Amino acid sequence: MERKAKIERKTAETDISLTLTLESVQTSQIQTGVPFFDHMLTSMTRHGRMSMVLACDGDIQVDDHHSVEDTGICMGKAFRKAIGDRKGITRFGEAVVPMDEALSMCAVDLSGRGFFQYSGIDLQGYIRTYSEELTLEFLRSFAMNAELTLHVRLLEGINRHHVHESIYKSLGIALYRAYCIDSVGSEEIPSTKGIL
């Protein structure tokens, strides 16, 4: 059965339409109006074995914040919807990804509880017009709306492009490992409580 979800969200700041398909090798079509962010999301979905069709019309004349944060909200909601009742999922996933001198670690728990923690080098500069702190805004809004626990550690990094790409790639791989169906317990909720 295809695990897929569509989310539409319109506010005074953004108008977003997003379709997310899990376990897909189709090329994502992403247009947020923030080119570096588009590149990062394309990398994340590719390595997370997801395909996404995303159109975001945001108030980028103000800045990129609303478009990035609201994309995280919509992507989180779509991911939560696509994994369904969570029966049979592996639940936990982790990845450590090098990108030349940069090294990032992501660990996720599809727990039903939204939580985000980041540690490592401060992300306070710019990559062209992309504010590095927007990566943290995306990660936070994605984790809260997907109702998952997300820990991100930036272990090494100098080149700012490499730093962010290693974060997004490690998140994609960790999510894939967590949402995959565990063939041993494919009808079970992976929790001693019986629910997630």
Is residue 185's pLDDT more than 70? no
Q: How confident is the model at residue 148 (pLDDT cuts 50, 70, 90)?
A: very high
Is residue 153's pLDDT more than 90? yes
**Residue of 80, 104, 99 whose CA lies nearest to 178:** 80
Q: How confident is the model at residue 192 (pLDDT cuts 50, 70, 90)?
A: low
Top pLDDT among 139 and 192 is at 139
End-to-end CA separation in angstroms for the chain: 20
Q: Which two tokens stand for residue 44?
A: 């994340």
* pLDDT given at position 182: 83
Cβ(157)–Cβ(52) below 8 Å: no
Class of domain 4-179 (CATH, top level): alpha beta
Q: What is the pLDDT of residues 84-136, one digit of tens each?
A: 999 899 999 999 999 999 999 999 999 999 999 999 999 999 999 999 999 99
Domain chopping of the chain, boundaries: 4-179
Q: What is the pLDDT of residues 154-184, one digit of tens each?
A: 999 999 999 999 999 999 999 999 999 987 6
Cβ(89)–Cβ(180) below 8 Å: yes
* pLDDT given at position 183: 72
* pLDDT given at position 43: 98
Q: How many CA atoms lie within 13 A of 117 on its CB side?
A: 8
Q: What is the pLDDT of residues 27-62, one digit of tens each?
A: 999 999 999 999 999 999 999 999 999 999 999 999
Q: Which two tokens stand for residue 4?
A: 């897929």
Q: What is the DSSP letter of 86?
A: -
